[in-house]
Structure 1
């Protein structure tokens, strides 16, 4: 169990480093118009916007699933 957790954590960390390096490369080696097309107008907060979007999507999916399970529970009990 701890080995698996270690490898998942290591993979996540390497993924974060790879994305950060890729974004730095894109910022350094592309013209401004191309950067704005790829990263959007607010280029300094791309990571936070991405994380915020993922959290919002997760919460919306979680709420929908909870509502579905609640409806199923009520239908079984009713």
Structure 2
């Protein structure tokens, strides 16, 4: 089990490093117009915007699923 945790952590760290290196490469070697197309106008906060989008999407999906389950259980209880 500890081997799996180690390899999972190592893979996660390698992924983070690869993404940060790729972002730095894009920032350093592309024209500004292309960079704005790829990274957006706020190039310094791409990571936070991505995480914020993921959290918002997760919460919206969670709320929709909760509403669906609540409707299902209310219908069953009403019979």
**TM-score, normalised by the number of residues in structure 2:** 0.86
**Is 1:16 matched with 2:16?**
yes
**TM-score, normalised by the number of residues in structure 1:** 0.87
Aligned to 1:58: 58
Could you tell me which runs of 5 or more consecutive residues in structure 1 were left unpaired when the two chains were aligned.
none
Q: d(CA) in 2 for partners of 1:16 and 1:55?
A: 18
What aligned pairs does 1:40-55 form with structure 2 within 5 A after superposition?
A: 40-55=40-55
Deviations 1:14-70 (A, max 9, x none): 222211111000001111111011101100000000000000000000000011111
Aligned residue pairs total 78
SS of equivalent residue, structure 1 residue 8: helix
Q: d(CA) in 2 for partners of 1:4 and 1:71?
A: 40
How far is 1:9 from its partner?
Answer: 3.2
How far is 1:3 from its partner?
Answer: 4.0
Q: d(CA) in 1 for partners of 2:73 and 2:5?
A: 34
SS of equivalent residue, structure 2 residue 71: helix
